[in-house]
A and B are shown apart, each in its own frame.
Chain A
């Protein structure tokens, strides 16, 4: 009898996958739960540089102009997909500060060499401390931070081409 039950395992596993995939297909791609930190100031943090080429990032770097805070990692495939959009945002005047999650300096340098470097500073967050602190749970995510260091807007997932004007508008609003 034991061996007969084992024969149903593949079907059970497949049913689980099919259910999950069906659920995902019915979901609106862009409905995400927002961070509870929106409207609140950034928590205090000061991160070491993620690699030699750029300075690290700290709360003090946010001030004056509104800026984008981009959470990413060199090992993250959607981050490759959004790289051209970050370049486009930079080209239209957005200042982007990056936080590299659980990354290594040589991998960060390699990623930036391959896909372009839109950042003015990149902090290294090896244990996701800051990431969790600002209510982000995955990579990539992008936040709009206003001149007083308050989180104004959160974009979850990779930035698609259609998201670029939205982010620019949010930056303008945060001014």
Chain B
């Protein structure tokens, strides 16, 4: 019954998406300030659709929780012996389940928009919900016609075939759902952008409605990418934290677009500038989420992380992509000219700096997009290539470096128009800091240029991040400004971690006999023994490594080489020793014929700062949302209070009522 309830809920949700789309479209037929009678169904349809989509997902979650082997998806992706938590995460560790999660979050955010958003004009709201319904409908069609998650087996399976062991990790419990929620949050920004474009209502009020969705999606993407990077770092066992893999790029590209969009929507909300640019980025950000899904799911590119690939499904998603993105860009081309330009500003102004950084972010996005798609392009000419770090690192650095420089001084500039001479002192301070750090570090050794520059930039950015607070009463600084300060400081922290990892990492690959000791950094690592261990659905060989720092008390590390039996696959479980100033990373490899074991060790100074930085950036975003919400609630309360006073005044016949002291 469970599967049938889930399937029925999905069909009903799809029907409601049609209703939402048609009813919302009628809103456009209404005259200014009026509501078309047929448009009133859009909001309730969105809310009920959200409930049904969530119900469908809960049903699938339940089927995985009890390992219902009569459902094909459960039988092919789960196993009764699997730990309970991984049974649950298995729900979205596969193609159908992840698409259901995607559409569930999409419907939920559409429902929330419909239920809580009252500031937008009804026409724009209707158009937005129509677009949101249209987007959702495509995904329902995809699930119901091509990847039904609730398909039954003619005969229930005796046992399931397991979950890709790489996915059997707690990192998976949080990483993809976070990214998905971020992607889907961008779908709301997309619908809002299209809605505003259709009604030509691109103005600060619209930007204030869009901003929390963009901020929220951006926070989730930041968090998801940070978590994903750390997951790849410790789970894949190769000691790196970013490989420019197509799947990684698929999450980075929407983040880059969302970062640009977030800044541009703030300018639109505060200064009524960058109207067309904001709409363009709104379309682009969601396009990048869709493109990422397409690249990951269709199998057109080879990746170390692509888990569920199928060209036919790829064709379906490509069709959706053409419909949404092609349609959006067509409307954009037809309508954007009709959106009046916003306020003007000088080149040297806060707006000018933000535009510059948006252009740099877009350039980096183009670089990543080109690098990701280039293999696809050459393959069309029967040439298979792989584009890797030798392309991405220098190419993106060309745009990232000027971006960081402008990012340092941008928040110090005034809105609309400013003179560089006014912030002479700050610029001088930052420049000398940059040069001093590079000179100081080069003095102690020779290091590659990019990490060195990264160190200097990190120092300058860290100081620049807090400079906007200079000379202000800290208690009166808006919470949203604290958010910006924290996020920019997080960028400096992450950059510091990346630069240190790049410049100062030490690596050792050694064949060690039990009892033998290897030296790396300040650490003496002794291989005490290697023994087999068994887990719930795997066996492993586990090394006992005693790590002594400067001859201190030993700490045990236990890297494993695991073998899963269902499906058969081996993974390398790295062991990490985290210190405040870095991580010791240990991996056990194969046994040589002479009985010695291959041990790989890395000492990575301050590598953890990469992820701390990511978390700070996300936290900055959260603060920013909280600040905006607080201001919004206060404003509403003030308006309500004002209305109350006016009513009281009227009741008293024009005599002012005594106002209680606050």
Instruction: Report B325-352 CB contacts with A as 1/0, cut-off 8 Å.
Output: 1100110110011000000000000000
- Chain B residue with the shortest CB-CB distance to A81: B302
What are the residues of chain A within 8 A of B376 when measuring CB–CB? 20-21, 24
Query: Pick the contact of B384 from A78, A113, A116 — CB < 8 Å?
Result: A78
- Chain A residue with the shortest CB-CB distance to B392: A75
What are the residues of chain A within 8 A of B243 when measuring CB–CB? 77
Query: Pick the contact of A76 from B280, B373, B386, B507 — CB < 8 Å?
Result: B386
Contacting residues of chain B (586-611) with chain A, CB-CB under 8 angstroms: 589-590, 598, 600
What are the residues of chain A within 8 A of B333 when measuring CB–CB? 7-8, 10-11
Which of A3, A21, A102 has the most chain B CB atoms closer than 10 A to its own CB? A21
* Interface-facing stretch out of B107-115, B313-321, B489-497: B313-321
- Chain B residue with the shortest CB-CB distance to A28: B311
What are the residues of chain B within 8 A of A79 when measuring CB–CB? 386
Distance A110 CA – B315 CA, assembled complex (angstroms): 38
Query: Pick the contact of B337 from A4, A10, A81, A116 — CB < 8 Å?
Result: A4
Q: Are A24 and B384 interface neighbours, CB within 8 A? A: no
Instruction: Report A10-42 CB contacts with B as 1/0, cut-off 8 Å.
Output: 110011011011111101010011000000000
Given contacts A10-B280, A77-B245, contact A21 B318 (CB under 8 A): yes
Distance A80 CA – B318 CA, assembled complex (angstroms): 27
Instruction: Report B190-219 CB contacts with A as 1/0, cut-off 8 Å.
Output: 000000000000000000000000000000
Q: Are A10 and B382 interface neighbours, CB within 8 A? A: no
Q: Are A24 and B284 interface neighbours, CB within 8 A? A: no
B522 contacts partner chain A, Cβ-Cβ < 8 Å: no
What are the residues of chain B within 8 A of A24 when measuring CB–CB? 300, 376, 379-380
B509 contacts partner chain A, Cβ-Cβ < 8 Å: yes
Q: Are B600 and A113 interface neighbours, CB within 8 A? A: yes
Distance A133 CA – B326 CA, assembled complex (angstroms): 43
Distance A3 CA – B598 CA, assembled complex (angstroms): 62
B338 to chain A, nearest CB (A): 10
What are the residues of chain B within 8 A of A113 when measuring CB–CB? 509, 589, 598, 600
Majority SS at the chain A contact face? helix
What are the residues of chain B within 8 A of A11 when measuring CB–CB? 326, 329-330, 332-333
B440 to chain A, nearest CB (A): 26
- Interface size counted on chain A using CB atoms at 8 A: 43
- Chain A residue with the shortest CB-CB distance to B287: A14
A138 contacts partner chain B, Cβ-Cβ < 8 Å: yes
Q: Are B284 and A10 interface neighbours, CB within 8 A? A: yes
B304 contacts partner chain A, Cβ-Cβ < 8 Å: yes
Distance A137 CA – B385 CA, assembled complex (angstroms): 8
B475 contacts partner chain A, Cβ-Cβ < 8 Å: no
- Chain A residue with the shortest CB-CB distance to B283: A10
B532 contacts partner chain A, Cβ-Cβ < 8 Å: no
B377 contacts partner chain A, Cβ-Cβ < 8 Å: yes
B378 contacts partner chain A, Cβ-Cβ < 8 Å: yes
Number of A-B contacts (CB under 8 A): 111
Q: Are A81 and B329 interface neighbours, CB within 8 A? A: no
Q: Are B302 and A158 interface neighbours, CB within 8 A? A: yes
Distance A172 CA – B382 CA, assembled complex (angstroms): 27
What are the residues of chain B within 8 A of A156 when measuring CB–CB? 382, 384
Q: Are A14 and B302 interface neighbours, CB within 8 A? A: no
A163 to chain B, nearest CB (A): 13
Distance A102 CA – B382 CA, assembled complex (angstroms): 20
Distance A141 CA – B385 CA, assembled complex (angstroms): 10
A96 contacts partner chain B, Cβ-Cβ < 8 Å: no
Distance A18 CA – B298 CA, assembled complex (angstroms): 13
- Chain A residue with the shortest CB-CB distance to B330: A11
B516 contacts partner chain A, Cβ-Cβ < 8 Å: no
A157 contacts partner chain B, Cβ-Cβ < 8 Å: yes
Contacting residues of chain A (47-88) with chain B, CB-CB under 8 angstroms: 73, 75-81
B389 contacts partner chain A, Cβ-Cβ < 8 Å: yes
What are the residues of chain B within 8 A of A76 when measuring CB–CB? 386, 388
B501 to chain A, nearest CB (A): 14
Q: Are A139 and B385 interface neighbours, CB within 8 A? A: yes
Distance A93 CA – B245 CA, assembled complex (angstroms): 32
Query: Pick the contact of A77 from B303, B322, B390 — CB < 8 Å?
Result: B303
B382 to chain A, nearest CB (A): 5
B238 contacts partner chain A, Cβ-Cβ < 8 Å: yes
Given contacts A10-B332, A24-B300, contact A73 B284 (CB under 8 A): no
A6 to chain B, nearest CB (A): 9
- Chain A residue with the shortest CB-CB distance to B384: A138
What are the residues of chain B within 8 A of A157 when measuring CB–CB? 302, 384
Q: Are B386 and A77 interface neighbours, CB within 8 A? A: yes
B255 contacts partner chain A, Cβ-Cβ < 8 Å: no
B155 contacts partner chain A, Cβ-Cβ < 8 Å: no
Query: Pick the contact of A110 from B318, B380, B507, B590 — CB < 8 Å?
Result: B507
Q: Are B336 and A15 interface neighbours, CB within 8 A? A: no
Distance A164 CA – B287 CA, assembled complex (angstroms): 38
Distance A73 CA – B384 CA, assembled complex (angstroms): 13
- Chain A residue with the shortest CB-CB distance to B302: A78
B138 to chain A, nearest CB (A): 15
Q: Are A138 and B385 interface neighbours, CB within 8 A? A: yes
Q: Are A3 and B600 interface neighbours, CB within 8 A? A: no
- Chain A residue with the shortest CB-CB distance to B325: A14
Q: Are A77 and B304 interface neighbours, CB within 8 A? A: yes
What are the residues of chain B within 8 A of A140 when measuring CB–CB? 384
What are the residues of chain A within 8 A of B315 when measuring CB–CB? 22, 25
- Chain A residue with the shortest CB-CB distance to B336: A7
- Chain B residue with the shortest CB-CB distance to A106: B507
B403 to chain A, nearest CB (A): 22
Q: Are B386 and A78 interface neighbours, CB within 8 A? A: yes
- Chain A residue with the shortest CB-CB distance to B379: A24
What are the residues of chain A within 8 A of B600 when measuring CB–CB? 113-114
A104 to chain B, nearest CB (A): 9
Query: Pick the contact of A20 from B280, B325, B377 — CB < 8 Å?
Result: B377
Distance A7 CA – B332 CA, assembled complex (angstroms): 7
What are the residues of chain A within 8 A of B326 when measuring CB–CB? 11, 14-15, 18
Q: Are A21 and B300 interface neighbours, CB within 8 A? A: yes
Residues of B within 8 A of A (CB): 237-239, 243, 245-246, 280, 283-284, 287, 294, 298, 300, 302-304, 311, 314-315, 318, 321-322, 325-326, 329-330, 332-333, 336-337, 373, 376-380, 382-386, 388-390, 507, 509, 589-590, 598, 600
**20 pairs of residues in contact across A and B, judged by CB atoms under 8 Å:** A7-B337, A10-B284, A14-B287, A14-B329, A15-B326, A20-B376, A21-B300, A24-B376, A24-B379, A27-B380, A29-B311, A76-B386, A77-B303, A78-B302, A78-B386, A102-B390, A113-B600, A114-B237, A114-B239, A139-B384
- A sample of 15 more A-B contacts (CB under 8 A), given A25-B300, A140-B384, is A7-B332, A7-B337, A10-B283, A20-B377, A21-B294, A21-B300, A32-B384, A73-B388, A75-B389, A77-B245, A77-B303, A113-B589, A114-B239, A138-B385, A139-B385
